[in-house]
């Protein structure tokens, strides 16, 4: 039968730490049982706090318990109070009853992402930005299906969110990198959207909106969805598609552009020199055979009439030409 080893053992000290940190000595067994009782108690006492991890540390006279939770207000009792003038609530539904809002951003550990998203959707969120990465794939599928069934637009998971310069931000985009303008950007990579946004702003070219959908293998909001909105948006004159190797989302976007889009589209595909079968950065950036390669994406986009460029600076130059042409 062979030996069965929990995979956590192979990660300790590398990408994961110990959940119990102490020297037991002669009392090792009793302390181990005590740790188990502490975790069991917290699990029962804080059942609605969406606890993802409990770390117990011991010194000679002190026991320190660190709790990772998606709902800290339930544990520390911040509900009904304020932090830097911002009201705090224990549940999204409580906040919804007190305020008129329809957008929610979710910063929670992967283990509790599904419950947190369901709670936000049940509270009536029409836009949900899910920044969390490494969520179990089954949970992602269920979140996307639940959002779709309730009419909620889900951006993510593992995304930087969306910003409308000088209007609002729901995500992680640095406000100082962007300025109001006529260029709509959609990107898988958050960092790439920052870079392109700042490069454009430095050249005096503003953005109507910037959305980073995440680099995982599946999303709630796709490049095609963003392009469809930009095509209808009166404030957007040029659309920018920032893509990368892996998957077929750029090809799907190209097919939509060819059939439905009249505005000029400029695209930059990163990862042109990536070897086949390698994962580069994002979970979705995997090339398998002739599927998801830079060549297939570029060919599909060019066939759709998209201006495909090779560098950020070339992208800026092409956008500048298109904006001047439209004046």
* pLDDT classification of 60: cutoffs 50, 70, 90: confident
CATH classification (class only), 161-326 = alpha beta
Measured torsion, CA atoms of residues 152, 158, 160, 164, in degrees rounded to the nearest 10: -20
Q: Please give the CATH topology (third level) of the domain spanning 91-155.
A: Rossmann fold (3.40.50)
| Lookup result for tokens 């898988």 | 188
CA angle 52–110–159, rounded 5-degree value: 145
Q: The tokens of 312 are what? A: 């950020």
Give catalytic status of residue 99 as yes or no: no
**What is the reported pLDDT for 161?**
96
The neighbour count for residue 141, using CB atoms within 10 Å, is 12
Domain edges within the chain: 7-69, 91-155, 161-326
* Catalytic residue of the set 99, 150, 173, 282: 282
Once rounded to an integer, what is the mean pLDDT over residues 195-203?
A: 96
> In 218-311, which residue ranges form alpha helices assigned H by DSSP?
223-232, 249-260, 294-303
CA distances from 74 to 37, 79, 95, 114, 295 (A): 21, 7, 14, 18, 51
Residue with the larger pLDDT of the pair 72 and 319: 319
Q: Do domains 91-155 and 161-326 have the same CATH topology?
A: yes
Whether the CB-CB separation of 295 and 284 falls below 8 Å is answered with: no
Note the pLDDT of residue 325: 81
If one looks up domain 7-69 in CATH, what number appears? 3.30.300.20
The chain-wide mean pLDDT, for the chain, equals 88
**pLDDT value at position 139?**
95
Do the bridges between strand 86-87 and strand 82-83 make them parallel or antiparallel, or are there none, so unpaired?
A: antiparallel
pTM (two decimals): 0.76
Measure Cα distances from 117 to 83, 105, 114, 126, 132 in Å: 23, 9, 5, 12, 11
Q: Of the spans 2-11, 88-97, 99-108, 272-281, which averages the highest pLDDT? A: 99-108
First to last CA, the chain: 74
């Amino acid at each position: 039968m062979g030996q069965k080893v929990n995979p956590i053992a192979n990660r300790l000290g590398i990408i994961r730490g110990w959940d119990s940190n102490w020297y037991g000595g002669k009392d090792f067994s009793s302390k181990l049982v005590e740790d188990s009782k502490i975790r069991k108690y917290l699990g029962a006492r804080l059942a609605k706090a969406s606890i993802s991890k409990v770390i117990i540390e011991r010194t000679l006279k002190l026991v320190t318990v660190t709790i990772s939770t998606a709902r800290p207000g339930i544990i520390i009792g911040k509900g009904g109070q304020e932090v830097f003038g911002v009201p705090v609530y224990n549940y999204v539904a409580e906040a919804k009853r007190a305020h008129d809002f329809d957008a929610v951003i979710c910063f929670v550990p992967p283990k509790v992402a599904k419950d947190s998203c369901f709670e936000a959707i049940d509270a009536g969120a029409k836009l949900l930005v899910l920044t969390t990465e490494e969520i179990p794939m089954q949970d992602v599928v269920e979140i996307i299906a639940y959002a779709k069934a309730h009419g909620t637009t889900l951006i993510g998971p593992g995304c930087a969110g969306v910003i409308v310069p000088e209007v609002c931000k729901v995500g992680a985009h640095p406000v100082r990198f962007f300025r109001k303008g006529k260029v709509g950007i959609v990107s898988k990579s958050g960092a790439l959207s920052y870079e392109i946004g700042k490069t454009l702003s430095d050249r005096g070219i503003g953005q109507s909106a910037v959305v980073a959908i995440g680099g995982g293998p599946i999303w709630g909001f796709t490049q095609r969805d963003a392009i469809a909105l930009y095509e209808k948006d009166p404030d957007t004159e040029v659309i920018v598609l920032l893509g990368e190797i892996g998957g077929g989302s750029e090809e799907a976007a190209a097919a939509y552009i060819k059939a439905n889009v009249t505005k000029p589209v400029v695209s930059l595909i990163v990862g042109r020199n990536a070897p086949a079968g390698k994962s580069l950065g994002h979970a979705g950036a995997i090339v398998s055979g002739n599927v998801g390669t830079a060549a297939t994406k570029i060919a599909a986009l060019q066939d759709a009439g998209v201006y495909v460029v090779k560098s950020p600076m070339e992208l800026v130059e092409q956008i500048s030409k298109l904006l001047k042409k439209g004046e």
